[in-house]
């Protein structure tokens, strides 16, 4: 049996996106949360709104991790399809922000 390496992504574990004071600042800004989650999932320090997640290396496994973490952090039903239909970080963040607004109504 092949040994599990530390490179595997665990979908069940949340992505740490920063210190608690950073999370307090980004909690009211869904777009900032999206950027932080995407950057962490890719192992980057930051991502910008014009970055294409697919070109940066997001595949279905990494995308699933991003979606699960956004659901947990923002409490909205983000779909993997949303990510692949909106591969630019800014477009995806705008969609997630819209979902957050709709869930608060």
Higher pLDDT, 6 or 23: 23
pTM equals 0.74
Domain membership flag for residue 11: no
Domain membership flag for residue 5: no
Q: How far apart are CA 93 and CA 27, in angstroms?
A: 13
Domain membership flag for residue 81: yes
Domain that holds residue 69: 20-103
Q: The domain spanning residue 28 has which CATH number? A: 1.10.1200.10
37-62 pLDDT, tens per residue? Answer: 999 999 999 999 999 999 999 999 99
When divided into structural domains, the chain yields a total of 1
- Tabulate helix, strand, coil % of the chain (nearest 5): 60, 0, 40
């Amino acid at each position: 049996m092949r040994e599990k390496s530390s490179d595997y992504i665990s979908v069940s574990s949340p992505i740490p996106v920063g210190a608690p004071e950073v999370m307090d600042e980004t909690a009211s800004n869904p777009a900032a949360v999206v950027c932080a989650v995407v950057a962490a999932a890719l192992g980057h320090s930051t991502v910008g709104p014009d970055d294409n997640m697919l070109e940066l290396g997001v595949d279905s496994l990494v995308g699933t991790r991003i979606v699960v973490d956004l659901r947990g952090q923002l409490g909205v039903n983000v779909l993997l399809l949303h990510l692949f239909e909106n591969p630019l970080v800014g477009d995806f963040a705008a969609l997630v922000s819209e979902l957050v607004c709709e869930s608060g109504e």
